[in-house]
Structures are given as C-alpha cells and as structure tokens.
Amino acid sequence: MSAPVSPLVIRFGRLGDTLLLQPLLRRLHARYGAPCTLLATGSYATDLYRGQPDVSQVIALHSRHRPFVLSPERWRALRVLTRMRHVPVYVCEPQPRALQHVCMLLRLAGIPERHCVFLHDMPLASGEHWIEHLLRLADSTPPDFTDRFAHVRSTVGTVPEFIVSAQERVDCERWLVRRGLAGHPIVVLQPANKRTIRRNRVRKPDDDDKSWPAEHWARVVAAIRLQLPQARVLLCGSPQEHVYLETIRAGIAQPGVDVAAKDLPTSRLKALLAVAHSMISVDTGPAHLAAAMGCPLVVMFGSVSPTHWRPRGHGPNAVHVMGGPPLSTRVDAIQPEQVVAAWRALPPRMPALPASLMPLAAF
C-alpha cells in the first residue's frame, strides 16, 4: 500500500465553482489517503473549507488579475507551492485565461507537468453535470503517480457536504438574536447574482438574464407572509449588493423583511442555511450552498442549462429547478405564481441531528 500523499487542487472560480469541488476533494482524500491542499481565489474559499475533513489547507488569492510582481499573496502562494513539487496536482480550471495564470504558477514553483492532470483536457460530456465532470478528473491519475495510485479507486457521494463547526453555529445564533430573528422560521431570498452589479451600478435588466423584477419578489414575499405569518424573510447578498437589495425591500411594503448583505460572510451564511426554513434564489453560488446545507430550495435559471449546473440537494425533491434552456433563457420569463407554487410544494427540511451527535469541526 502506497504512503499517503496530500493532493493539490487548483480552481480560480467563484463561490459556486469552489463549492462544487467538494465531492472531488472527498474522492481525492479517499484515493490518496490524506486531505487536499486547495489553491483558490476569494475569501469564501477559506470560509467554506475551514475545518472540513477533506481539506488540510486553503491557499487563497484575493484576485487572479493583479500583476504578479505587485501581489505579495502570490509570492506567498508560490513559496507554498515550491514545497509541493512531489504531490499529484489536479487543475480544475476550465477558463483559458485563468489556466494561463495557473500554468505560470506551476512553472515558477518547479512542478513538473507529469505531476498534473487538467480538466481543460477533459471536455464536458453532453448532459453531464459539472460534479460528474470533476469526478472523472478525480479518477484520473497524473503520469508520474500511475504506478502508485492508478489502481486505487474510491466511491463517494455526489452531493457536496459541509460541516458547520460549533463556533460557526454559536456565531450564527448570536447574529440571529442581534437581528431579532431568533425563534422565527427564516426564508432566504437571493435576488442578485455575480452579474447584477457592475462598476458599482446595477446592470440594466436586458443585460442580465438572471434579473427578476422587484415587483415579482414583492408578490412572492406577500405569499410567504400569508402562509407563514411568523416567518422572517431575509434578502441576502454581498456587501456590494446592499443598496440594490434595499431597493427591493423598500418596494415590498411587508413587515418582517430585512436585508442581510453587509454582515453575512460565507461562514455565517453556511450556518444560516443549515437552519433556514427554505430559500428562493436565482441561479448563483448561494443556491448551491443552500442545497448542500439541506435547505429546501427553489432556484430560477436564465440562459445557463440546469443540466450541467443544477444544485445538488439531500433527499428527494429538496431542490426545485425552474426555467433555463430549452424552456426559457431569461429568469423574467418565470411568473411569481409559479415560484410560489414551487415553494409551497417543497418538502419540509430534514431534521437536523441533535447538537450532541453533530460532527464538529475544530475551533
């Protein structure tokens, strides 16, 4: 039996892209006998994988576009990579421009190409979900490790799974108390996506296939409040989306509706979605996180096919997908009444384990 080795996994993506790596990371951990090192972009990568058993270390670059000589974090990452010249490397980056940056880092670190396998060399198959695409990569072996590990196979689940640590749970509980939300069912709405804000301005609806009119969100909130009068509705997003979300909230004219954008980092959002009643979202990263955390979900697709990008949930019918090709190519083709009906049809979320039985990540 070969000695354990910690694989290096590289992906310069957004929240959803980084989250969908989890089944691959789990399979590589099982194949190589040691948790992975993850090189990624964004603070969400650190928040998402802190304390997770399949990742031993996250090397986070805040931006892949900053010139190398002006980026101290890239020099720090390079120093770490130079100590990983003898491990298998899984490059999960499909974008050619980002792949150039990855290859430059690998060359500077002295990592041989025969230690690497590349998702770019493995086209997405027709009808294949992105997670299965990544798992095909996880089942391949870099040439220089074929003798030791090509025969090692592992079967793991295809749904992303994340542990909420005790510290994250306590932080979320205190946040809910501060916001006056404790003790209420929480329905999370995610109206914005990565294209919503550009250069600090809201894109015009005809330039964003995932834009859903504010009056549609208002009608959905009215239906939620009618069915669950005790519920609190949270409009969630990034700090840059706060003003946009406040504009939607102002037009809702319903009590019990709040905006959570300036104080909702990924670690807190993860803990919130582990206890929320449900979520209604456009196709974006937090929708994938909701599904992974067992939160019943309605997700609306625009021009991207749900075939490849449907959020993976735990349990039957926990994720209801609406729109997307071939049905439609814009979210605003979906009517509020359809979304409300889908939300009402969601199954109750699966009961959480008692706190004493839940797996805890280390503080």
Domain map (residue ranges) of the chain? 8-149, 166-345
Which of 7, 30, 10 is CA-nearest to residue 21? 10
Q: Largest Cα–Cα distance of the chain, in whole Å?
A: 65
Asked if the domains at 8-149 and 166-345 fall in one CATH topology, the answer is yes
Helices (H), the chain: 15-19, 22-32, 43-49, 72-82, 96-109, 130-139, 146-149, 166-178, 214-227, 242-252, 266-273, 285-292, 306-309, 336-345
- With contact defined as beta carbons under 8 Å apart, do 261 and 332 qualify? no
List all residues 6 or more positions away from 266 whose beta carbon is below 8 Å from its beta carbon: 15, 43, 44, 47, 48, 289
Distance of CA 232 to the CA centre of its chain: 24
The model carries a pTM of 0.92
- With contact defined as beta carbons under 8 Å apart, do 239 and 256 qualify? no
Q: What type of residue sits at position 80? A: V
Give one word for 326, left, alpha or beta, with left for phi > 0 and alpha for psi -120 to 50: alpha
- The CATH class, in words, for 166-345 is alpha beta
d(CA 169, CA 359): 12
User: To which CATH superfamily is domain 8-149 assigned?
Assistant: Glycogen Phosphorylase B; (3.40.50.2000)
Q: Residue 65: what pLDDT?
A: 55
Q: Residue 1: what pLDDT?
A: 60
- Walk along the chain (363 residues) in steps of 10 and give the mean pLDDT of each run: 90 95 97 96 93 95 59 81 95 93 92 96 95 96 92 86 96 96 96 82 85 96 96 95 94 92 95 97 97 97 95 92 95 97 93 41 30
Token pair, residue 228, equals 């669950």
Neighbours of 180 (CB within 10 A): 11
Q: Please report, for residues 56, 71, 91, 352, the alpha-carbon distance to residue 244 in angstroms, rounded to integers and kept in the order given.
A: 37, 31, 36, 33
- With contact defined as beta carbons under 8 Å apart, do 307 and 129 qualify? yes
Token pair, residue 293, equals 């955390």
